[in-house]
Amino acid sequence: MLDADFFRRWMTAAAVAVDREADRLTALDSPIGDADHGTNMQRGFRAVVATLEKEAPDTPGAVLTLSGRQLISTVGGASGPLYGTLLRRTGKALGDAAEVSAAELAAALRTGVEAVATLGGAAPGDKTMLDALFPAVDALAESFAAARDAAEKGAVATTPLLARKGRASYLGERSIGHQDPGATSSALLFATLAEAAGE
């Protein structure tokens, strides 16, 4: 079973990974975006860790809901409402249970990912974070490690795609050949989930 400490570990590991990879995320965002994804995510997840320390939410749902809310208010770019919605909807779906099973988390994350798709109006194959998130939640039924690998594979597979959403879509054919920054940070999120689970 996964308790609030597990989810705090996940968010903390995500903040560490985003810090470590911030330059890479921004570099990926330079040719097809506005070169701020790394710094935006860094600001957001640092704020998440700070607020989790300060407010000490004591259920899995509360940890994710608070984290999502914090991302919406601090990121400053489109990834704020998108990741914020992902975590908040996932947190709400978990309710106020003190512990949740991996299967419950998988179902809740699917709700969260579907909410991201609705908010952004994107579909798999549009070269967005969904191209990492949907394969990850599909693989979560198997294991956290499988979800991590599926997310990474999904992120890498965005490289040949034509962007159909967001600023990158203005570039048309020129968006081809670049890995999507949002799918890359989504893969980090699932890599750190597996890390928190010790896989």
* CA gap 59, 66 in Å, rounded: 11
Three-state DSSP class for residue 107: helix
Would you say 24 or 167 has its CB closer to another protein?
167
Would you say 79 or 175 has its CB closer to another protein?
79
Would you count residue 154 as binding another protein (CB under 8 A)?
A: no
Select from 4-12, 15-23, 70-78, 191-199 the region that touches another protein (CB under 8 A): 70-78
Would you say 35 or 176 has its CB closer to another protein?
35
The single residue among 57, 60, 81, 112 that binds another protein, judged by CB under 8 A, is 81
**Beta-bridge mates of residue 2:** 100
CB count within 10 Å of CB 186 equals 30
Tokens describing residue 127: 């070269």
* CA gap 3, 152 in Å, rounded: 26
Q: Give the shortest CB-40-to-another protein separation in angstroms.
A: 8
Angle of helix 181-196 relative to helix 144-156, nearest 10 degrees, comes to 170
Site for another protein in 98-127 (CB under 8 A): 115, 119-120
Q: Give the shortest CB-77-to-another protein separation in angstroms.
A: 5
Residue in the block written with tokens 């709400």: 92
* CA gap 190, 109 in Å, rounded: 11
The single residue among 91, 166, 181, 182 that binds another protein, judged by CB under 8 A, is 166
Residues that bind another protein (CB under 8 A): 36, 40, 69, 72-73, 76-82, 84-85, 88, 115, 119-120, 166-167
